């Protein structure tokens, strides 16, 4: 797998090693600001786990890491929309060129299954109804445009080269080990520190929330049972307005709503995402966690793991965050 030191990747590595005793994992990760080996401490002594530090754009490293590998689960990416709006270069390099490098190496190594982990943001904002896999792509920001490019490139490698690719497009994930720039961990940790929760625009944008462990289970199902060349939407089925979500977080922590601060909207801010997940359901997957219980567990995790997020929030992130908000 790639990007195993990030949020979804670290949860996925733990899921695979925990549920498939016969499997082993090679984790190729560059350790960007979002990669954190603390996310994987409990796996380090497992003889079935190996970490390789490297860039997915590096052909030599990628080729070596794929030696003896049956399947690639490609999670590595630049992932934060606001960062892509501030500067898109790394997004194009990692998300597009990096994916290309992996696909080429996978062809050469005759990899039997390549899972391109993707996002519902490639469909753009959905005014009504829910996106289906063959709907047109209409990404709004450099992050989602770069993910759309990666997604299409991966499928082209199936169509042209018969590389056995499957693509997942999941909705917004939340849960343990998510970098505290994304809205749920940002708002939980800000609330724990009694600092303002910056709600963009009117706060009425809607996201369909998916607990990360449910996404890991879905990626696992697609990895094993997905059909070559197919795309699978993975939605949580929990559409929530940002302002409602924010109040829920504050309520769970017993913090006042006065911490909510309206700030200038994100440029190009997608109003709503929604997915039809019928196709992955037909493979036998459905979310196992209710939104309320999963949000409560996530709030509890951040409350109990200050030692994980405090250093992140006090280091380089603090400088990025302060720079961003000084202009709002
Ligand atoms: P993340 O930002 O938490 O982690 C990304 C990981 O990729 C980090 O460990 C980082 O070090 C690594 N990485 C970045 N550039 C790299 C490079 N050039 N070479 C090697 N490693 C590199 O991301 P995440 O939230 O875990 O997302 C994982 C994947 O899931 C991404 O492809 C993302 O687009 C997709 N996705 C995420 C969400 C979500 O809500 N988080 C939703 C849908 C899809
Ligand atoms: P985010 O977690 O960045 O995910 P994405 O943009 O990929 O969906 O944001 C989720 C929603 O929360 C999105 O509508 C933007 C909003 N948001 C805020 O209101 N304030 C914030 O500080 C952040 C980071 C996001």
Q: Encode pLDDT of 223-275 as tens digits.
A: 999 999 999 999 999 999 999 999 999 999 999 999 999 999 999 999 999 99
Cβ distance 302 to 175 under 8 Å? Answer: no
Cβ distance 184 to 249 under 8 Å? Answer: yes
**pLDDT tens digits for 271-295?**
999 999 999 999 999 999 999 999 9
**Which of 84, 183, 295 to probe ligand 2 with, by most ligand atoms within 8 A of CB?**
183
Q: Which residues sit opposite 87 in a β-bridge?
A: none
CA 35 to chain CA centroid, Å, is 12
> Distance between CA atoms of 161 and 168, rounded to whole angstroms?
19
The confidence score (pLDDT) of residue 328 equals: 46
Q: Does 205 contact ligand 2 (Cβ within 6 A)?
A: yes
Residue in 51, 62, 97, 59 with CA at minimum distance from that of residue 77: 97
Collapse the DSSP code of 199 into the 3-class scheme (helix H, G, I; strand E, B; otherwise coil) and give the result: strand
The confidence score (pLDDT) of residue 22 equals: 97
Rounded average pLDDT over 67-81? 98
Cβ distance 157 to 163 under 8 Å? Answer: yes
Return the residue whose CA atom lies nearest to atom 23 of ligand 2.
Answer: 183
Q: Where are the domains of the chain?
A: 7-178+209-240+271-294
In what helix (H) or strand (E) does residue 18 lie, and over which residues does it extend? helix 7-19
Q: Does 173 contact ligand 1 (Cβ within 6 A)?
A: yes
For strand 239-241 and strand 206-208, is the pairing parallel, antiparallel, or unpaired? antiparallel
CATH homologous superfamily of 7-178+209-240+271-294: NAD(P)-binding Rossmann-like Domain (3.40.50.720)
Residue in 131, 139, 113 with CA at minimum distance from that of residue 170: 131
The confidence score (pLDDT) of residue 323 equals: 62
Q: Does 144 contact ligand 2 (Cβ within 6 A)?
A: no
Phi, psi at 233, each rounded to 5°? -70, 140
Residue in 97, 153, 149 with CA at minimum distance from that of residue 122: 149
**pLDDT tens digits for 139-155?**
999 999 999 999 999 99
The confidence score (pLDDT) of residue 315 equals: 74
> Distance between CA atoms of 188 and 298, rounded to whole angstroms?
9
In what helix (H) or strand (E) does residue 197 lie, and over which residues does it extend? strand 197-200
Q: Does 289 contact ligand 2 (Cβ within 6 A)?
A: no
Backbone dihedral region for residue 284 (phi beyond 0: left; psi -120 to 50: alpha; all else: beta) = left
Task: Report which ligand 2 atom has the smallest distance to the Cα of 172.
Answer: 8
Q: Sign (positive/negative) of CA torsion 306, 312, 315, 320? A: negative
Q: Does 186 contact ligand 2 (Cβ within 6 A)?
A: yes
Gap from CA of 183 to ligand 2 centroid (Å):
5
């Amino acid at each position: 797998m790639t990007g195993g030191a990030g949020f979804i990747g670290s949860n996925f590595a733990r899921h695979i090693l925990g549920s498939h005793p016969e499997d082993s994992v090679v984790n190729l990760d560059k350790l960007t600001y979002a990669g954190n080996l603390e996310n994987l401490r409990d796996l380090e002594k497992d003889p079935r786990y190996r970490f390789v530090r490297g860039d997915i754009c590096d052909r030599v490293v990628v080729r070596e890491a794929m030696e003896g590998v049956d399947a690639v689960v490609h999670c590595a990416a630049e992932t934060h929309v606001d960062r892509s709006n501030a500067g898109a270069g790394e997004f194009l390099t990692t998300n597009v060129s990096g994916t290309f490098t992996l696909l080429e190496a996978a062809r050469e190594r005759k990899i039997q299954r390549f899972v391109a982990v993707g996002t519902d943001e490639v469909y753009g904002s959905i005014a009504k109804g829910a996106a289906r896999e063959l709907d047109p792509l209409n990404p709004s920001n450099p992050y989602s445009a770069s993910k759309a490019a990666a997604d299409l490139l991966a499928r082209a490698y199936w169509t042209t080269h018969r590389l056995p690719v499957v693509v997942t497009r999941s909705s917004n994930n939340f849960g343990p080990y998510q970098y505290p720039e994304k809205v749920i961990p940002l708002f939980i940790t800000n609330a724990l520190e009694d600092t303002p929760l910056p709600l963009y625009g009117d706060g009425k944008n809607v996201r369909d929330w998916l607990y990360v462990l449910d996404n890991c289970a879905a990626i696992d199902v697609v990895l094993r049972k997905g059909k070559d060349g197919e795309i699978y939407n993975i939605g949580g089925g929990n559409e929530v307005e940002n302002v409602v979500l924010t109040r829920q977080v504050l309520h769970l922590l017993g913090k006042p709503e006065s911490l909510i601060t309206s700030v200038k909207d994100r440029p190009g801010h997608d109003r709503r995402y929604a997915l039809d997940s019928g196709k992955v359901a037909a493979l036998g997957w459905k979310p196992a966690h209710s939104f309320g219980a999963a949000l409560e567990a996530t709030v509890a995790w951040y409350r109990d793991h200050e030692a994980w997020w405090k250093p992140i929030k006090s280091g380089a992130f603090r400088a990025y965050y302060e720079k961003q908000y000084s202009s709002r």
